[in-house]
Structure 1
Amino acid sequence: MSINSAMLAGVSGLISNSSALAAISDNIANVNTTAYKRKQVNFANVVTSQAVKGRYSAGGVQAVTRQFVSQQGLIQSATSATDLGIAGDGFFVVSSKGTGMLPGDPRLFTRSGSFSVDADGFLVNDAKLYLQGWPIAADGTINDSPSDLTRMTSINIKNLGGAVKATENVVVNANLDKTQVVSGAEATYVAGEMAAYAATGVASATATQPDFDKLEMNIVDSSGGTHRIQVALLKSDTPANTWHAEIYAVPASEIAGATDGLITSGMVNFNADGSLNLTASGGTTLFGPAGSPVQLSIGASTDVAGVRWAAGLGIKASAISLDLSKLTQYADTSAVNSINPDGATVGNVVGVEVGEDGVVSATFDNNEVRRIAQIGLATFPNSDGLLAVSGNAYRATIASGEFSVKYPGEAGAGEIAPGALEASAVDLSAEFTGLITTQKAYSASSKIITTADQMLEELINIKR
């Protein structure tokens, strides 16, 4: 009966508009939710078979829910360095637990990048979802995969232990006095005598006091221990503008395989204008033809031959590049301007940084920075087909297609914005307008039911 179908059509209108109201309510309630994607209920008509000519049977309306996951929210600055926004396509890979992840445990996808460090050192967002990333090995390699999420682990910045960086480079900036009077002991000087003087503190026939020995530097070994290396210089008169140089350890007992802690010796050559002669060659110069730095190779205590650390120290070999290219010889007092060695003693984690390339780095109180993880962004052929779950996250579905995890900014993936968050995609003006139209449509559907009821009442009253 057409009147019955009209009443049922009115009921379908009430149900569909109720769904629309629920979606609008969700949108308004999440106007301040990080990276929230709005939902919308669209309407589709239902057509029934018109079996009898001249009569019409109402089919009503059905509600179709649509989500706008691919809609980009505004990137806004945040106060924390671990707040991460995504400008472009892609999702963070997250999990519901930090440790004990099994291959069968589900991984979720989210754009809610409000991450912070929890008590156990994991990066978690406001929904307590743990950020996943590819671990970075000590040699800088990354075992990544675009489709195997089990290679990712929950990122932890506190269970790293201390950080140590052995000294690899030292840059020396100093001046040697051109007017320095040549020492009387220079005529009989033999390499190693300045190291002998440093060891004994007394000048003798076999221990020559240097003209300048203030080039001292602390180097760090592989275990975080510090050692003092000294460069001593003695002016030579044959040829002019040359200096004898010795590099030795203080105390001498730290070096084995050489006398008085001597590591290496040679000549330093200057040009007539006081600049260092980087092209000087010969077996006794401390510089090669290209002016390359002095390479101090101090072997481990187990080395068979050559200069090495004393066995009692029990440390690894050291390869140090000593750059003396900024050494000058002017008619001014011999002085050290600066000595800049790299390397760092044992340090503890004091912070975390995330780069635009998605690399998570831990910073230590010894100014050392260690790269610990690489964030990957998962992309989908149809992100609007993802299944929403609690915590502003999503699961992959058949409609969304297979994911592919990529480096930020590569192959269509968006870029990570550190210290920023993606705002909710809800437009309040559009939602309040939708409230008005939904309310009116609901009232109109209710009128269909009351009108059909009145017509049925008239039909019943015919018998009277």
Structure 2
Amino acid sequence: MSLTSALYTGVSGLSAYGDSMNVIGNNISNVNTTGFKQGRALFADMLSGDAGNNSQVGRGVQLQAIQNIFTQGSYQSSENVTDMYIQGNSFFALKAPSTPSPVATQNAAFLSRNGAFHVDSNLTLVNPDGYQVLDTAGNPIRFSDNATGITAAAVAFNAAAVVAPATTAITADIATAQTAVTAMAAGAAKTAAQNLVNAATAANNAAIAADTAFGTSPNGPNADAVNAALSAAFASLQEASVAAGTSVAAGTTTAVNTVTTAYGNVQTEEGKAFSKITKIDPDGLITYLGADGITQNYYDTSGVPGLPVTAANAATVQRVAVVAAKDPGALTKAGSSLYKASTDAGVSTAAFSLGTNKPNGSSEQVISNALEQSNVDLASEFVKMITTQRAYSANSKTITTTDQMTQEILSLIR
């Protein structure tokens, strides 16, 4: 072996420990990255050269592998219900917005331990980069505004002039009350009764105007306005009739009740529309509040209205999907706290299913209002940094010392 081989031996150390310092620096820089898993540099000696007499001389060190350490990160509480922490070894499954749905197989999804999710303007549960969180059917978790159901119920609400007969009947009863008030003797009672009749007239006109506006835009919010105006008109009529000594006709009450029943169907449909997520159970079951601000629903399937909160529905609806990797260390980093499956990672090649991809709720749990912190230990990283720096310096000494020895050889010719 020549003396110059020692120079390359030192260079191999500089290269390997330089890469090791990059790994350490990356760990430290991601100490506050949600769901980050630290890496470590593993070294191996290089192929040795033959020195004779069955002896070998080493030729330096090489970076054998950079291994990701998938120990559980600590728990950090959050005020956001869509922030999720996995207690266990599984991963959340995500897909790019442009990827077709459903994702065909589990190993085709992006995997992540970073559960910092939110519902975007398309009512889809996404990570900060817009990657869509998958349910146990391999579809993006997308909620529904139930626009079709609300519109259909609203159209039925005004079908066959449901509101018009009610306002017409109220108009007739107001006329009856007005006749009675006109016949009353002058005085405070007549004045008060006339004021109530006037109020009933104004309220009924408002109901008629709201119904006219509804005809040009038959949707849920306008149905709310029509129902509110009609209810106010009916209440004013009842007060005016009592003051005038008359009664509300049975037909009027029937007509108003018909409208109220039809409006109840609109409210039912509004209750199915998404407003906000209220709870995510350890087994990935999602509960959300309806647009009516009252109804609680289970997320059912991507892009469709939810189902009522019942034990039977809880057993059948889709959940937040989790995917297991037999060897997480073999996963490939894809940036933004995402991983892709490799052949050696042991991620299932089967399709997503409710039976295999939901958290079991015990050893594997999804915890809402929490995030997983980085598993980087700063104290350990700084110790590694010191030892790596010393090793780097020692290898540089190998080079400078070999250079001095070479200089001694060159001085022999003087």
The interval holding the TM-score normalised by the smaller chain is 0.5 to 0.7
The alpha-carbon distance between structure 1 residues 76 and 411, as it changes in their structure 2 partners (threshold 3 A), is closer
Matched residue, 2:121? 119
Superposition deviation, residue 253 in structure 1 = 7.8
Matched residue, 1:141? none
SS of the aligned residue for 1:31 comes to coil
CA distance in 1, matches of 2:126, 2:268: 30
SS of the aligned residue for 1:426 comes to coil
The alpha-carbon distance between structure 1 residues 364 and 355, as it changes in their structure 2 partners (threshold 3 A), is same
SS of the aligned residue for 1:154 comes to coil
Aligned counterparts, 1:19-418, within 5 A: 19-53=19-53, 57-97=57-97, 100-101=100-101, 106-134=108-136, 151-161=137-147, 344=268, 346-347=270-271, 348-353=273-278, 354-366=280-292, 367-372=294-299, 373-403=318-348, 406-410=356-360, 414-418=364-368
Superposition deviation, residue 157 in structure 1 = 2.2
CA distance in 1, matches of 2:50, 2:6: 14
Tell me, yes or no, if the aligned pair for 1:21 and 1:438 is still in contact at 8 Å: yes
CA distance in 2, matches of 1:358, 1:163: 27
Aligned-partner residue type, residue 29 of structure 2: A
The alpha-carbon distance between structure 1 residues 314 and 74, as it changes in their structure 2 partners (threshold 3 A), is closer
SS of the aligned residue for 1:133 comes to coil
CA distance in 1, matches of 2:45, 2:56: 15
The alpha-carbon distance between structure 1 residues 116 and 15, as it changes in their structure 2 partners (threshold 3 A), is same
Deviations 1:355-383 (A, max 9, x none): 22102232114321222241121001111
Superposition deviation, residue 76 in structure 1 = 1.4
Aligned-partner residue type, residue 131 of structure 1: V
Instruction: Considering fraction of residues, name the structure with more helix.
Output: 2
Superposition deviation, residue 398 in structure 1 = 1.5
Deviations 1:48-78 (A, max 9, x none): 1324239753321111333334311012111
The alpha-carbon distance between structure 1 residues 5 and 159, as it changes in their structure 2 partners (threshold 3 A), is farther
CA distance in 1, matches of 2:61, 2:253: 91
TM-score, structure 1 normalization? 0.55
Matched residue, 2:387? 437
CA distance in 1, matches of 2:140, 2:69: 25
* Unpaired stretches in structure 2, ≥5 consecutive residues: 151-219, 228-251, 300-317
Tell me, yes or no, if the aligned pair for 1:99 and 1:154 is still in contact at 8 Å: no
The alpha-carbon distance between structure 1 residues 411 and 401, as it changes in their structure 2 partners (threshold 3 A), is farther
CA RMSD of superposed structures (Å): 3.5
Matched residue, 1:340? none
Q: Aligned pairs, how many? A: 289
Instruction: Considering fraction of residues, name the structure with more strand.
Output: 1
Superposition deviation, residue 440 in structure 1 = 0.7
Deviations 1:210-242 (A, max 9, x none): xxxxxxxxxxxxx9999xxxxxxxxxxxxxxxx
CA distance in 1, matches of 2:360, 2:36: 24
SS of the aligned residue for 1:27 comes to helix
Structure with max Cα Rg: 1
SS of the aligned residue for 2:50 comes to coil
Tell me, yes or no, if the aligned pair for 2:84 and 2:370 is still in contact at 8 Å: yes
CA distance in 1, matches of 2:262, 2:17: 78
Superposition deviation, residue 352 in structure 1 = 1.1
Q: State which drifts further: 4-13 or 102-111.
A: 102-111
Matched residue, 2:373? 423
Tell me, yes or no, if the aligned pair for 2:112 and 2:339 is still in contact at 8 Å: yes
Superposition deviation, residue 412 in structure 1 = 8.6
Aligned-partner residue type, residue 79 of structure 1: E
Superposition deviation, residue 25 in structure 1 = 0.7
Aligned-partner residue type, residue 410 of structure 1: N
CA distance in 2, matches of 1:412, 1:54: 58
CA distance in 2, matches of 1:390, 1:99: 17
SS of the aligned residue for 2:52 comes to coil
CA distance in 2, matches of 1:351, 1:94: 21
The alpha-carbon distance between structure 1 residues 411 and 422, as it changes in their structure 2 partners (threshold 3 A), is closer
The alpha-carbon distance between structure 1 residues 60 and 2, as it changes in their structure 2 partners (threshold 3 A), is same
Q: Comparing both chains, which one has the higher relative contact order based on Cα–Cα distances under 8 Å and sequence gaps of 6 or more? A: 2
Superposition deviation, residue 99 in structure 1 = 7.0
SS of the aligned residue for 2:343 comes to coil
CA distance in 2, matches of 1:159, 1:2: 76
CA distance in 2, matches of 1:411, 1:67: 30
CA distance in 2, matches of 1:415, 1:34: 18
